Every structure is written in C-alpha cells, then in structure tokens.
Amino acid sequence: MLIIENLFVNYKDTELLHNINLTIKTGARHLLSGHNGSGKSSLVRTIAGDSDYTIKSGKIIFNNIDITDDNATKRALLGIFLGAQNVPEIPGLSVLSFLKHSCIAHTHFRTGHDLSMGEFLEKLENNRTKLNIPREWLNRGMNVGFSGGERKRLMLLQLLMTEPKLAILDEPDSGADSTTQQLIAETIKSMPETTFLFISHQPAFTDLISPTDTTTLSAGKIVIK
C-alpha cells in the first residue's frame, strides 16, 4: 500500500527525517511509536502532503503510484486520509456542506460519476447513527465549538464517509474519553478495506486496536530492532 524509500525531509531549514525506509502492508493496522519529538507527526504529515515539509530526497510510493511531488489535494483524492491532532475551526462552513463536497469530489475522482444527493444523505444518516452523532451537529460550523472528543467523532464520520485506502491517524486517542476511544477502535476494526497508520502513546488504546505491525522512530530515524 505504501512504500517509503530513503526519505529525507526538512521543516524550514532543519532536517527532521533522516533516511526513512518504511513499508505499510495493505490491510495493516500499523502503529508508529516513539517519544515526543521523535519525528512521528512530521512523517505522517509528509505522507499526507503537508506543504510545510520539504522532501529533500527519497520517494513515497502509494498504491504503485509515485506521489513524491503530488500536493495534499491529489493525495487525498487518491485515497490518503489524515486525521490530525489539531484540526482548524472553519466558521461559515457547516459539517453537512463539508462532508457533501468531500464525498462528491472523492466519488467523481474514483468513478467519474456524480454522487446523487439521495445516496449521500442515506450514507450520512447510516454513519451518523452508527457514531451516535446528533443530527443538529450537521448544521454547525466545521469543528466550531466542538470538544476534543466531539471532534474525534467528526473525524470518524469523515473517515466513514470518504472510505480512504490509507487512513493516517495522529494520536486519535488524545483528548478522547474511554467511550470515544472504544468507538475509535471499533470503527477502525469495522473497515477492513482501509489500511491504517496510527500514532499513539497510550498502551491501553493501542491494545484496543491490536496493531499488526509497529515501527519506532527516534530523533527522526527508524529504530532498527
């Protein structure tokens, strides 16, 4: 699903990632571990196409496509989802509008066909119910006034609506209570067609997900065991 070869990455003028070689298998629940500042978030943001991170050398191959020079939008449409730790509030853009435009774009990119409003609303209602998300949330501004745990549930709703090939979750357990953490784990396990790369510092949460593989970073390098 994902192959990273000899990757060196700068943030501004500082090299943060050094000679990263990593393979993520299709269908994996791959844990990225390491102390704070080890380079985990830098790596996942680089994979997702964050323009603040500059690839100095190396390659990122996703689903047999070289995406090294592709921007974040192209990578998202190809099927890479990033659930970031800190998500921006977007006043004036409702949750409903955000999800609608996202699903329309993904469907058209994948199939060449337009997603009908009926199909979208049916899928939204099914997933909203599954996550116990109140209907009134859909008319609120994207992430505006939502608590940390509520934002995690919105992230899960985006995940279920877009059905990415690769979902990257940067500390999805952070700010989430035990009930929400359980919901996150159940959602991940309910999506066998999606490959997961996730970061967590909490062994109890990690145990809920039962990772299939683990890679550890330290000082911007992969720790070879």
Q: What is the pLDDT of residues 78-131, one digit of tens each?
A: 999 999 888 888 999 999 999 999 999 999 998 998 889 999 999 999 999 999
pLDDT at position 17, please? 96
DSSP-derived secondary structure letter, 122: H
Q: What is the pLDDT of residues 76-93, one digit of tens each?
A: 999 999 998 888 889 999
Q: How far is CA 15 from CA 23, 136, 171, in A?
A: 22, 45, 23
Euclidean distance between CA atoms 168 and 46, whole angstroms: 11
Check pLDDT > 80 for residue 225. Answer: no
Euclidean distance between CA atoms 76 and 87, whole angstroms: 16
* Average pLDDT taken over every residue of the chain: 94
**Mean pLDDT along residues 197-210:** 94
Check pLDDT > 90 for residue 188. Answer: yes
Predicted model pTM: 0.92
> What are the extents of the domains in the chain?
2-222
Superfamily in which the 2-222 domain is placed by CATH: P-loop containing nucleotide triphosphate hydrolases (3.40.50.300)
pLDDT > 70: percent of the chain: 100
